[in-house]
Chain A
Amino acid sequence: MNPCYYACYIVYKVIVYDIIFYPPVYQFLIIPGLITAIIVAIFILWFERKAAAYVQMRYGPWEIAPRIGGAIQLLADLTRYAMQEIITPQTVDTLQYLLAPIVMVVLALLPLEAVPLTSVKPYFPIPSGYSLLVAVAFATLSPLFITMMGWASNNKFSITGSVRESFMITSYELISVLGLLTAAAMTRSYDLVKIVNLQMSGKWLGLINPIALFVVFIAVLMSTSGFPFEIPESESELVAGPFTEYSGLLYGLNMGGAYIRRWVFSILITLVFLGGWAPYRPTPGVITGYFIPSLIVSLKAVVIMGIMSFLRSVYGRYRLDQALGIAWEILIPLALLAFGIGLAEAYFGII
């Protein structure tokens, strides 16, 4: 055999199987990870503006490319953010100010390292025994850095925004954790692979226990400042909430960070409540065992993101006290109710 051909084959194999499809790299950077998250954020931002425009009798982004409905508008915006100067004001805590957005985005992507996207064993990023618990635990890390951003910015708008954010954290975290762990109560395991495999027969947990899905949906909207709860960065009162002092690419990171967190939560919701890769049964092999199921999960998550961003066009913003009231007075009892229903269903053997 030609040695050059052989070397090329080895390099190809190393690049494809040991680098691209190495589960931690693949899941953190490629399909549900950074690259896909950025593409999805761009698409969803465009969709959000377009849907709001349709509902409010406007055209939305249009002029930049009339034939495709201005779909590349967000690329233009991104270029503008990338070209802007990153200004650090004199009064800020420089290290925290610069580090917080970067750490926030990295930590926002971290739960993707814990979720398995296939039922074939070599392609688990971590041993999947407690993957649901680990993913939920990772998902609660990044909002702390939004609070830190506001504190480091040393600006009254930022501090008000970050205090609001911390109020929201305390209210939504319990709801989302309770709602997501309802699945563990229903299936008697923290293993996401087992949870998804139980849903293979068409009994999606979201259909069996819709209250839990509803509660988690609203908790995710709250945590990522989706529109009825866009309270921390309320544009008309606080300039941009905790992100007031940021400019250029760091501001882009901040704005993208919320969408990336929403994306990660959507993938968790897809796996737990909407059957993951459900109609498809993974078979051994990189493409059929890893690529296609991750694509199916991503598509389902995009649909959830679309529904979440459609709400922007319909709802106004709640006040802080209204949102906290909804969280503590309505949603936590609902979450407990969903937990009880899940336990009852598990006891009577419905799942």
Chain B
Amino acid sequence: MPAKVSLKKNPKRNPLGKVFAGNIGALAVGLKYFFDPNRITLLYPHEYIKLNKGYRGFIVLIKEKCISCSSCARICPAAAMRMLSIKVYNEKLKKYMIKKYPVINYNRCIFCGLCVDVCPTEALYHVPYHDIVYENMNDMILSLEDFQKEPENIEFKEGIPVKYYFDESRGLVKTPYMEELEKQGEKEEKNQKVEGEGEKGAG
């Protein structure tokens, strides 16, 4: 025997009570947030999220480490990497040789980071930021010279780096990253001082 099909009836409610409870509840929540706002907006150009070190941002090539194995171009799932053949003067053999170097096309790149992972000599690395404006599509196809430079961090010019977490009652809680930056700055100053003293001692 198949199970009997039965319709479940909703418990009857008093329609007036339903109307009043729903509307007044909604208005109360609205008023609460109106007088005690609780924002989850990041004011982007004025403050930006400080990304961690392992972030897969833009990719930069260190030409000296590259051994022209083309693993990066082969593993690239979006076919964004391409190998360029370039004449290089080899000092050991004292003659010109053709060597291959990768270049990247940011129209296609999906920032998966496989090329960085697969590189046997760690010639590619990520930069921990990802906000760059290009004026046209051609500029997004980098040349070998551009691929070796770290792109400039535009966020860094205007905004404050910020770390954040979500809180149920307070919304987006942001703490400026500046304190940690100051600590780093102190460390660097100390290091410079130590180096300077060392030089003096040596001198």
Q: Which residues of A contact B (CB under 8 A)?
A: 51, 54-59, 62, 310, 313-315
Whether A59 and B30, one on each chain, are in contact in the complex, defined by CB atoms closer than 8 angstroms, is no
B134 within 8 A of A: no
B164 beta carbon closer than 8 Å to chain A: no
Which among B26, B27, B34, B43 is the interface contact of A54 at CB below 8 angstroms? Answer: B34
Which residue from B34, B37, B38 sits with its C-beta under 8 Å from A310? B34
Within 8 A of A (CB), among B13-47: 26-27, 29-30, 33-34, 37-41, 43
Kindly identify which residue among B26, B27, B39, B43 contacts A57, using a CB–CB cutoff of 8 Å. B39
The 6 A-B residue pairs whose C-beta atoms are closest, nearest first, are: A314-B30, A54-B37, A55-B33, A57-B40, A55-B30, A54-B34
Min CB distance B35 to A, Å, is: 8
Residues of chain B with a CB closer than 8 A to A55's CB? 30, 33-34
CB pair B26 A315 closer than 8 Å? yes
Which chain A residue lies CB-closest to B15?
Answer: A330
Pick the contact of B37: A57, A62, A315 (CB < 8 A): A57
- Known contacts A314-B27, A315-B26; is-contact A54 B33 (Cβ 8 Å): yes
Q: Is the CB of A59 within 8 A of B26?
A: no
Within 8 A of A (CB), among B62-91: none
Instruction: Assess whether A57 is in contact with B171, with CB atoms less than 8 Å apart.
Output: yes
Task: Give min CB distance, A312 to chain B, whole Å.
Answer: 10
Closest to B28 in A: A314
CA gap between A62 and B46 in the complex, in Å: 12
A-B contact pairs, 29 of them (CB 8 A): A54-B33, A54-B34, A54-B37, A55-B33, A55-B34, A56-B33, A57-B33, A57-B37, A57-B38, A57-B39, A57-B40, A57-B41, A57-B171, A58-B39, A58-B40, A58-B41, A59-B39, A59-B41, A59-B43, A62-B43, A310-B30, A310-B34, A313-B30, A313-B34, A314-B26, A314-B27, A314-B29, A314-B30, A315-B26
A326 to chain B, nearest CB (A): 10
| Distance between A53 CB and nearest chain B CB, rounded to angstroms | 8
Q: Roughly how many angstroms separate A310 CA and B35 CA in the complex, as a whole number? A: 12
Task: Mark contacts of B98-118 with chain A using CB atoms, 8 A cut-off: 1 yes-contact digit, 0 otherwise.
Answer: 000000000000000000000
Residues facing A in B149-177 (CB within 8 A) are 171
Chain A residues near B26 (CB-CB < 8 A): 314-315
Residue in chain B with minimal CB distance to A57: B40
Q: A228's closest neighbor in chain B, by CB? A: B23
Cβ of A47 to closest chain B Cβ, rounded Å? 11
Which of A51, A58, A59 makes the CB contact (< 8 A) with B34? A51
Collect the chain B residues with CB atoms within 8 Å of residue A313's CB: 30, 34
CA of A315 to CA of B26, assembled, Å:
8
Among A51, A55, A310, the one with the most B-chain Cβ atoms within 10 Å of its Cβ is A55
Interface string of B131-157 (1 = CB under 8 A from A): 000000000000000000000000000
Bound-state Cα–Cα, A314 to B33, Å: 10
List residues of chain A with CB within 8 A of the CB of B34. Answer: 51, 54-55, 310, 313
- Distance A59 CA – B33 CA, assembled complex (angstroms): 12
* Residue in chain A with minimal CB distance to B40: A57
Residues of A within 8 A of B30 (CB): 55, 310, 313-314
CB distance from B67 to the nearest CB of A (A): 49
Closest residue of chain A to B35 (Cβ to Cβ) is A54
How far does the alpha carbon of A55 sit from the alpha carbon of B32 in the complex, in Å? Answer: 8
